[in-house]
Structure 1
Amino acid sequence: MTARIVFDLDGTLIDSVPDLQGIANALLREQGCAPITLAEARGFIGNGVKVFVQKMRRARDIPDSEQEPLHAAFMERYRGAVTLTRPYPGVVDALDALVARGHALGICTNKPLGPTHAVLDHLGLARYFDCIYGGDSLPVHKPDPAPLKAAFAALGGGPGLYVGDSEVDADTAVNADVPFLLFTEGYRKGPVAAMPHRLAFAEWTALPGLVADLPERSGA
């Protein structure tokens, strides 16, 4: 049985924290503030650029009046922030296997669409995906289910699965009423047991087999 499989991006397919940290620290230097750590940057990811900038500001006591200028400055640098980002080990082989088995693949991320296309093109991953929805593709973004539902609709018929790494992704899957497969090595904030999910995996090499076995595990 083939499926429609939609993926989150940052923390799921790719580790983009070093590039996002680089943008943030360049902006913080201009503000005369101390840099953020990789761990801080990782904790700021998940709800889009505006929330990332908001959390960055609050971590360095930058006033609310700087939110819009810093957000605009972040977006100016975002499209080019690709050089330190890498796919997680095994991602390319897993995507190859899923496509070879006839699954239709898409992306639903809170990353803005321009930087999403830029990093996918840079890493040579764009060719795997039949649809891509970014955080600014619709008036709402995750955990609102609308972007995820739109991605599934664009992929046609058949069962749907959402693959992500964070609490935002898990909530989005619940809101869209689709099975959620959790990549445990991404940017989640809390324990795996606290997140609703159908299956969890730590190695991308395991994903094609999990997808193949899912109907049996579900009693289908």
Structure 2
Amino acid sequence: MSTVFMPKTSFQVDKIIFDLDGTLVDSAPDLCAAMNHVLATLDRPSLPLADVRSMVGLGARALIGQGLKATGGIPDGFMIDQPLDLFIRHYRANIARHSQPYAGAHDVLRLLKERGFALGLCTNKPQDLALSLLDALSMRSYFTSITGGDALPFAKPHPMHLDHVRQSLPGRGAAVMIGDSITDAKAARASQMDVILVSFGYSPEPVESLGADLIISDLRALPGLIVKENHR
């Protein structure tokens, strides 16, 4: 278990807000399968898993757009709604066929909850798909607040997405964001929130360049880094 140390090495908070894809769950294999299902109906070539990993993070519509650009472009006047609907239907039917929580995710979430932290989830994944994935992997019960990318008029990196989750969690103390990408880092910074990034996620940019307070290579490092805020 290792960490790459940045300016901050410990966090005193009441609330911990997680990203989902690329942070808690490796969902890229099932997202890739849904993407390639759509591309096949459009007579486009399939994309390798490594390419799709770097496209995850801004929601299904953006993912489809990137997939189309990578396989020939988006024609003028092309309506993305139909392939998006096909993508979502295929993904919903196969949402946890190959997706798995990252090593230690269950144990870490359970331990943090037992220590009294309020846990939230802030994801750009559509709300119903986020809940379905969490249910399929028996992870939903850890979280007091779960907000998907279509649940509000705004989504990460807009700070109000993250602010909504923070405000919906009990307690009056500080919060820290745990994510894997520039989307998470920007949302946290705009919300004046500390951010820890994982090195094993889906960021197309080196995570060292994203301005995190700390980078970790294993979720199991978190309980040793985050302590409960002391209110007097």
TM range (shorter): over 0.9
Partner of residue 46 from structure 2, selected from 13, 35, 51: 35
Alignment partners' CA distance in 2, 1:94 and 1:22: 29
Report the CA distance between 1:39 and its aligned residue: 1.1
User: Aligned AA for 1:105?
Assistant: L
Partner of residue 22 from structure 1, selected from 33, 37, 47: 33
Question: What does residue 188 of structure 1 align with?
Answer: 203
Question: What does residue 140 of structure 2 align with?
Answer: 126
Helix, strand or coil: the match of 1:162?
strand
Conserved in 2, the CA contact under 8 Å of 1:160 and 1:178?
yes
53-62 or 140-149, which deviates more: 53-62
Aligned pairs, number: 214
Unaligned 5+ residue runs, structure 2?
Answer: 1-11
1:158-177 alignment, distance < 5 Å? 158-177=173-192
User: Aligned AA for 1:23?
Assistant: A
Instruction: Between the two structures, name the one with larger relative contact order (CA 8 Å, sep ≥ 6).
Output: 2
Alignment partners' CA distance in 1, 2:41 and 2:58: 24
Corresponding position: 1:103 with 2:136: no
Question: What does residue 5 of structure 1 align with?
Answer: 16
Helix, strand or coil: the match of 1:161?
strand
Alignment partners' CA distance in 2, 1:4 and 1:101: 11
TM-score by length of 2: 0.88
TM-score by length of 1: 0.93
What are the Cα deviations for residues 149-208 of structure 1, in whole angstroms up to 9, with x where unaligned?
010111122111110000111011011110001111101122232111111111111111
Question: What does residue 6 of structure 2 align with?
Answer: none
Alignment partners' CA distance in 2, 1:22 and 1:78: 8
Relative to its length, the structure with more helix (as a share) is 1
Conserved in 1, the CA contact under 8 Å of 2:13 and 2:175?
no
Unaligned 5+ residue runs, structure 1?
Answer: 216-220
Alignment partners' CA distance in 1, 2:90 and 2:97: 12
Report the CA distance between 1:79 and its aligned residue: 2.2
Corresponding position: 1:88 with 2:102: yes
